[in-house]
Structures are given as C-alpha cells and as structure tokens.
Amino acid sequence: MTTAVTSRPEEARRSRVNPKVLAGGLAVALPLLAVLVANLGRDPRSVRSPLIGRPAPAFSLVPVGGGAPVSLEKLSGKPVVINFWATWCVPCFEEHAALTAAARGLPDVQFLGVVYEDEEARTQEFLRQRPSAYPSLIDPEGKAAIAYGVFGVPETFFIDGSGRIVDKYVGPMTRSTIAALVARAKEGAR
Amino acid sequence: MTPVAFALASILAIASGGQQIPPGSAPAAGIGAPKGPQLSGPELDKRTDDIGALLRCPVCQGLSVADSPATMARNMKAEVREKLAKGYDQEQILAYFERSYGEFVRLQPPMRGVNWLVWFGPVAALIAGGAVIAWAMRRSPHQPAAAGGRQDALAAPAASDLPSRDSVPTDPKLAAAVRRVRMLAYGWPQGVSPKAGS
C-alpha cells in the first residue's frame, strides 16, 4: 500500500528565474522603455519643420483688397516675418496687436500676413476694424500654406536677409517672442 | 498596399521616370523637372486619388488626403492634381510635400534608415518568436531524467505505484474507514470487492 498524495517541488520551481528568459525579455523591453522615456516630454502632434535652414519657398500673392502682387524674391536682403492667420482663429486675434506693434517698431524688417482658409471679405472687414501695419496676402487654394508646411494657425516663419528660414513659431506670439526671433533672423543675415 | 506591392510600385515609378520630359514646364522647387507623362481625364482622377491615399492630411487625425473632407486636404489634392497634369511622377509629388511637412506627411514610410524596422520588424519578430517556440518544443521532451525530482514530480505515477482496489491499509482503524468508503462508493458489501474472493 502507498499513499497517493506526496508533496511536490512545484513551489521551488515557480520561484526560480530563468536567466536566459530574463535577459531576452530585458533586451526587448529596455530599448522600448528608453524610446518611451526619451520622448515623454514631446508633443506627439508637433513635427519639427524640415524647412528650417532651407531657402524659403517662393510665392507671389495679391494683398487683401487688391493691389500689386507681393513676391518674396523682391524682398530679399531684408529679414521677413511671415504670419499665417485667419479671422476665425482666436489666438490670431490676440497676436494681431503684438505683430502690428512689432512691425511699427521694426521698420527694417518686412512683416507679411498670409490668410489661411478664410474669405477675403471677412478678412477685409477684420483689417478695417483693426488696422494692420503690414500687408496681408490672399493665398488661393492654400498653395503658400502647403509650400510652408502649415498645420494650422497661427504659425509664423522668420526668414533672414538671404531668404533662408531661420525659425518657425507655432501658436500666438507676444511682442517679446517676436523681438527675440527677429533678432535671430537678423543675425542669420550677417 | 502591402510592403511588397509598395516596393514594386516604387521600383516601377523609378523605372518609368525619366523617359518623357514635356517641353515648356517649369520645374517646381526642389523636385526637378517632371519625370512622367502629363496626365489628363480619368487617368488623372485615378492617379490623384492614388497619391492622395499616400499623403497624410496634416490637420486630421490619421486620415489620408484622399479620405479627408478638410479644406487643407482638398487644397493638397488640388496640388497633387496640378502636378500630375504637369507630368510630375508619384515620387516627385510625395517629395514635394515631404519638403514642407517632413516624412510625417507620407502615410507609408519610405524604405530607408530606421524605417526598415517598421516594414520588416514585425515579420522578423514573428520569425524569431516562431524559432524560439520551435526550439523550446524540440527541447522539452528530450530533457534528461537527470533533472531529478522536477521530472518525477511531473510524470504520472506508474500503475504499480497505485494502491490495488482490494488492498487495505495495515492500520485497523484506517482499514475500516477505507472499507466503509468503498461500501458507500461502489456498493460493495462490507467494502470488499465481490471479485476479491473468486
């Protein structure tokens, strides 16, 4: 006769770690964890513009309300600030005053607005109520916006005297932000 | 489109390029002279949709330019159409958008650099996983008995180890209990197998 139930060394087995399996798991998990940690602070929707450091895409656009087309090439030699905006964009509203003040204070810099996905009549009305110190251009079919890789408004490009894009700013700017970025564009011209 | 089909399409696009350079079309910034035929009619519509499906709508969440109703996407589609009509090929048009929006704008990452991992990483992981499983399965039945108690614990007890149906423990009290259980469970009179005596 025998007793059928015996104690088995199962518990001992469970607590033992297989070093090969552990090493394999770490080899897969650690690099993934490193990528995660390295990108934790990043906004997944913000993409660095590949245009920075490259020549600014050329355009020739008619200002709001008509007039001679403004082309970028004719402005070379002078730092240029191009602000993409729209009347339906609330942050652009706030930014408008800062840009106008900056344009008045910096006569050696050419400020330009490019109207993004908006009607000319509404833009004209907006500019009549809040006069601007620089021209805003109509961008039919958003060709300039596409060429500049615009994702939304407001987005602002800073171009140095040689026609190279020095910086791109996403979101509304204050006067001090504008001043700092213009200073960098001026440096780039030298 | 599968990666293989994408690779074939890319090869075809490269192979078909450089044959016709339509006279009088100004090269667009950075992408050179048009390399393909100038499209029109239904072919133009079809190719516009094809290329629109490869471009990410920048203002949408994971939608292609072909699928998105956004103004931005419509404008990009118009740009694709215009470029196709001028004779630019697929790769040139994708490169045009990539210049301003970055590689992000391509819904299918081009096969270069780290992107190889995206295309072939999952397949490689599947093969590696299969190999590990096959190796583990081949290995386990041949594990030597020298592994000792571990193996014995898992193995089913041999038939000779099991107590016989008719045997009883030597302890008289325990023997009585076992017989009682057998009587209740099997209906054996006095807990003894009817065959036991024969």
Residue range A155-183: mean pLDDT, rounded: 93
Report the chain A residue with the minimal C-alpha distance to residue B165: A1
Residue A77 lies in a domain: yes
Residue of B nearest to A4 (CA): B162
Mutation choice for A interface testing from B60, B75, B151 by most A CBs within 10 A: B75
| pTM beyond 0.95 | no
| Residue B156 sits at the chain A interface (C-beta within 8 Å) | no
Using the Cβ of B104 and the Cβ atoms of chain A, whether some distance falls under 8 Å is answered with yes
Q: Total structural domains in chain B?
A: 2
Write b or e for each residue in B43-69: b if 16 or more Cβ atoms lie within 10 A of its Cβ, otherwise e.
ebeebbbebbebbbbbbeeeebbbebe
Give the dihedral sign, CA B168/B171/B172/B178: negative
Q: Is B75 on the interface with A (CB under 8 A)?
A: yes
- If you measure CA to CA, which chain A residue comes closest to B75? A141
Distance in angstroms (rounded) separating the CA atoms of residues A98 and A162: 25
pLDDT digits (tens, 9 = 90+) for B24-57: 334 456 788 888 889 989 999 999 999 999 999 9
Please tell me whether the peptide bond between B144 and the residue prior to it is cis, using omega within 30 degrees of 0.
Answer: no
Residue B153: inside a domain: no
* Residues in chain A within 8 Å Cβ distance of B76: 146
Query: What's the rounded mean pLDDT across residues B94-120?
Result: 89
Residue B52 domain-assigned (yes or no) = yes
Q: Do B22 and B93 reside in the same domain of the chain?
A: yes
Nearest residue to B73 via CA among B37, B101, B109, B111 = B101
pLDDT at residue number A128: 94
Distance from A142 to chain B by nearest Cα, in Å?
A: 6
The domain spanning residue A152 has which CATH number? 3.40.30.10
pLDDT score of B164 more than 80: no
Question: Residue A149 domain-assigned?
Answer: yes
Query: Is residue A30 one of the residues assigned to a domain?
Result: no
Complex ipTM tops 0.85:
no
**Cα separation, A11 vs B150, whole angstroms:** 11
Give the model's pLDDT for residue A3: 47
Predicted local confidence at residue B48, as pLDDT: 95
Tell me, yes or no, whether B183 lies in a domain. yes
Final residue before a domain boundary, out of B78, B96, B112: B112
- In this structure, is residue B169 part of a structural domain? yes
Q: Are B156 and B143 in contact (CB under 8 A)?
A: no
CB contact under 8 A, B101 and A143: no
**Where do the H-state alpha helices sit in A44-163?**
90-105, 120-129, 143-147
Q: What is the pLDDT of residues A99-122, one digit of tens each?
A: 999 999 999 999 999 999 999 999
Contact B75 A147 (CB under 8 A): no
| B15 three-state secondary structure | helix
Are residues B102 and A57, on separate chains, in Cβ contact within 8 Å? no
> Which of the listed residues B91, B112, B133 is the one where a domain comes to its end?
B112
Quick: pLDDT tens for B48-86: 999 999 999 998 888 999 999 999 999 999 999 999 999
Query: Higher confidence at residue B109 or residue A165?
Result: A165
Alpha-carbon distance A80 to A161, whole Å?
7
How would residue B12 be classed by pLDDT, with cut points 50, 70 and 90?
very low
Q: Are B30 and B99 in contact (CB under 8 A)?
A: yes
Does residue A143 sit within a domain?
Answer: yes
Q: What whole-number distance in Å separates Cα of residue B76 and Cα of residue B88?
A: 15
Domain around B56: 12-112
Task: Judge residue A177's burial from the number of C-beta atoms within 10 Å of its C-beta, 0-12 exposed, 13-18 middle, 19 or more buried.
Answer: middle
- Three-class SS of residue A135? coil
pLDDT for B100: 92
Q: Which pLDDT value is given to residue B79?
A: 95
Complete DSSP assignment for A13-72 = HHH---HHHHHHHHHHHHHHHHHHHHTTTS-TT----TTTTSBPPP-EEPBTT--SPEES
How far is B95 from B156, CA to CA, in rounded Å?
Answer: 67
Q: What DSSP element (H or E) covers A81?
A: strand A80-85
CB-CB under 8 Å, B161 with A9? no
**What is the tally of structural domains in chain A?**
1
Q: What distance in Å separates residue A29's CA from the closest CA in chain B? A: 13
CB spacing of A4 vs B170 below 8 angstroms: no
* Amino acid sitting at position B92: Q
Statement to judge: residues B103 and B173 lie in one domain: no
**Rounded distance, CA B152 to CA A40, Å?**
50
Share of chain B above pLDDT 90, in %: 40
Mutation target vs B (from A46, A141, A164, A165; most B CBs, 10 A cutoff): A141
> What confidence tens digit (pLDDT) does each residue in A72-100 have?
888 878 999 999 999 999 999 889 999 99
What is chain A's mean pLDDT, rounded? 88
Inter-chain touch B157–A4, beta carbons under 8 Å: yes
CATH number at residue B26: 1.10.8.640
First-residue to last-residue Cα distance in chain B: 78
Q: Which residues of A touch B (CB under 8 A)?
A: 1-2, 4, 8-10, 13, 47-51, 54, 57-58, 117, 141-143, 145-152
Contacts of residue A161, Cβ cutoff 8 Å, sequence gap at least 6: A76, A77, A78, A79, A186, A188, A189
Cα–Cα dist A164/A79, whole Å: 9
For residue A12, the chain B residue with the least C-alpha distance is: B150
* Residues A10-28 pLDDT 10s: 555 566 788 888 998 999 9
> Do B104 and B41 share a structural domain?
yes
Cβ contact A48–B102 (<8 Å): yes
The verdict on residue A146 lying in a domain is yes
| Pairing relationship of beta strands A80-85 and A155-159 according to DSSP bridges | antiparallel
Number of other residues whose CB lies within 10 A of the CB of residue A184: 13
A157 is in which domain, residue-wise?
A: 60-189
Please indicate, yes or no, if residue B159 is contained in any of the structural domains: no
Tell me which residue in B102, B153, B163 faces A2 most closely, judged by beta carbons. B163
What is the C-alpha separation between B161 and B42, in angstroms, rounded? 82
Q: What tokens does B193 get?
A: 């197998």
Residue B21 has pLDDT above 70, yes or no: no
The per-residue pLDDT for range A42-73, each reduced to its tens digit, is 776 666 789 999 999 999 999 998 899 999 88
